[in-house]
């Protein structure tokens, strides 16, 4: 538990320290966000806000993780796999952000290109856990376990890729992804610690601290956006932690807000294709509430509160069932 606190504080402090010089660098280089035409009208004023802030979240979280893991003598191949996967997702996200900045429009990697990268990266931790863990193909809920055998890698890759995309969809309002992410990773840290995966708990705690530090610069009105560099990597890591820690089912609960955001998009697209009608004014659902007249602070506060409830429920359920 002490090492989790150290990792959290290191992630927080490093992110606060790196934020100012990195944002100044982005402003000098005029590296800003391009807003898509279909975005709500009030988002047009955000055009030019520095982006790729995920870079200093990733660096802070990685440094805090590595330092604390060495201090705790918990650095292992398992930890390397998690951190390398995290970094690979960050690089994929940075490539997407770079293409948007270079093209001076909100078009980066193609949907297929991004999805392929996410799947290929997810294969690494999935294969590793299947080879090194005797229960690698099992999913568990308390004392009940089921061996999914050949279906497990499909499910696990889907979980990691889905988490990456779901978190990316949530990153649409100032402070939304960061605030909801704080509670999701806090839950991951607690569940991993209770499961005996202390190295995962340290990494999750480091990200929790880094996200909280990032909120200092990303809260409304945001000084910087995390971009796909941050959102793809952080979402992907959420899935990786669940797969490596064998708490895949709990991911659905602790990441409840991200699941809802994703479902809103699926429902919207399906409804429009089948009936020609939209269920929501806009998707993901946070934009629907914007168009209903709620301001960003109200929506972010409500979503963060819901994310906190999801985290508490996931932790309590895990504690009751172990």
Alpha-carbon gap, residue 99 to 96, rounded angstroms:
5
104: left (phi over 0), alpha (psi -120 to 50) or beta: left
pLDDT band for position 267 (50/70/90)?
A: very high
User: What residues contact 183, with CB distance under 8 A and at least 6 apart?
Assistant: 254, 304, 307, 308, 310, 311
Query: pLDDT value at position 135?
Result: 85
* pLDDT range class, residue 322, cuts 50, 70, 90: confident
Residue written as token pair 């991004």 = 114
Residue matched to tokens 């602070």: 297
Contact (CB, 8 A) for 180 and 258: yes
Stretch 174-179: mean pLDDT: 96
- Per the DSSP assignment, residues forming a β-bridge with 138 are 147
Q: What angle do CA 63, 16, 99 make, to 5 degrees?
A: 75
Judged on CB neighbours under 10 Å (0-12, 13-18, 19+), 304 is buried
Cα end-to-end span (Å), the chain: 19
- Domain spans of the chain, in order of start: 2-248
- Ramachandran region of residue 15, left (φ > 0), alpha (ψ -120 to 50) or beta? alpha
pLDDT tens track for 211-244? 999 999 999 888 999 999 999 999 999 999 999 9
What is the pLDDT confidence band of residue 39, given thresholds at 50, 70 and 90? low
Left (φ > 0), alpha (ψ -120 to 50) or beta: where does 251 sit? alpha
Q: Which helix (H) or strand (E) holds 273?
A: helix 256-275
Sign of CA dihedral 127, 132, 138, 142: negative
8 Å CB contact between 123 and 302? no
Residue of 291 and 185 predicted with greater confidence: 185
Burial class from Cβ neighbours inside 10 Å (0-12, 13-18, 19+) for residue 277 reads exposed
Q: What is the mean pLDDT of residues 254-279?
A: 94
Mean pLDDT in residue range 190-214: 97
pLDDT at 27: 84
Decide: 202 and 8 in contact? Cβ < 8 Å.
no
Supply the pLDDT for residue 43: 57
User: What confidence tier does 41 reach under pLDDT thresholds 50, 70, 90?
Assistant: low
100-130 pLDDT, tens digit each: 888 766 677 888 999 999 999 999 999 999 9
292 φ/ψ angles, rounded to the nearest 5 degrees: -85, -5
With residue 151 as reference, give the H or E element that holds it: helix 151-170
As a whole-number percent, the residues of the chain with pLDDT over 90 amount to: 79
**Residue 202 corresponds to which tokens in the numbers above?**
């340290």
User: 3: part of which helix (H) or strand (E)?
Assistant: helix 2-28
- Is residue 227 within 8 Å of residue 108, measured between CB atoms? no
| pLDDT mean over 179-190 | 98
Per-residue confidence (pLDDT) for residue 31, from 0 to 100: 72
pLDDT 10s digits, 43-59: 556 666 888 899 999 99
Q: Which residues contact 282 (CB under 8 A, 6 or more apart)?
A: 38, 40, 288, 290, 291
Q: What's the predicted TM-score (pTM) here?
A: 0.94
What radius of gyration, in Å, describes the C-alpha atoms of the chain? 19
């Amino acid at each position: 538990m002490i090492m989790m606190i150290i990792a959290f504080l290191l992630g927080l402090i490093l992110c606060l320290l790196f934020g100012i010089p990195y944002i100044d660098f982005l402003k000098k280089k005029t590296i800003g966000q391009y807003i898509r035409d279909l975005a709500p009208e009030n988002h047009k004023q955000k055009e030019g806000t520095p982006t790729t802030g995920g870079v200093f979240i990733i660096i802070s979280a990685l440094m805090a993780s590595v330092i604390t893991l060495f201090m705790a003598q918990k650095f292992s191949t398992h930890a390397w796999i998690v951190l390398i996967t995290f970094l690979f997702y960050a690089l994929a996200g940075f490539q997407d952000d770079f293409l948007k900045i270079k093209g001076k429009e909100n078009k980066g990697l193609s949907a297929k290109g991004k999805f392929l990268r996410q799947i290929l990266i997810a294969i690494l931790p999935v294969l590793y856990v299947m080879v090194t863990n005797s229960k690698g193909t099992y999913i568990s809920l308390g004392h009940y376990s089921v061996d999914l055998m050949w279906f497990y890698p499909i499910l696990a890759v889907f979980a990691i890729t889905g988490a990456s995309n779901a978190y990316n969809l949530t990153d649409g309002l100032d402070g939304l992804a960061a605030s909801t992410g704080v509670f999701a990773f806090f839950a991951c840290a607690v569940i991993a610690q209770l499961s005996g995966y202390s190295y995962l708990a340290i990494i999750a705690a480091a990200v929790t601290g880094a996200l909280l530090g990032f909120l200092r610069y990303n809260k409304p009105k945001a000084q910087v956006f995390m971009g796909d560099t941050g959102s793809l990597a952080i979402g992907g890591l959420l899935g990786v932690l669940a797969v490596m820690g064998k708490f895949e089912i709990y991911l659905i609960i602790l990441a409840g807000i991200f699941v809802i955001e994703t479902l809103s998009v699926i429902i919207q697209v399906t409804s429009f294709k089948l009936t020609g009608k939209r269920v929501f004014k806009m998707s993901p659902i946070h934009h629907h509430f914007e168009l209903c007249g709620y301001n960003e602070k109200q929506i972010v506060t409500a979503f963060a509160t819901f994310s906190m409830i999801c985290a508490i429920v996931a932790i309590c359920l895990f504690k009751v069932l172990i």
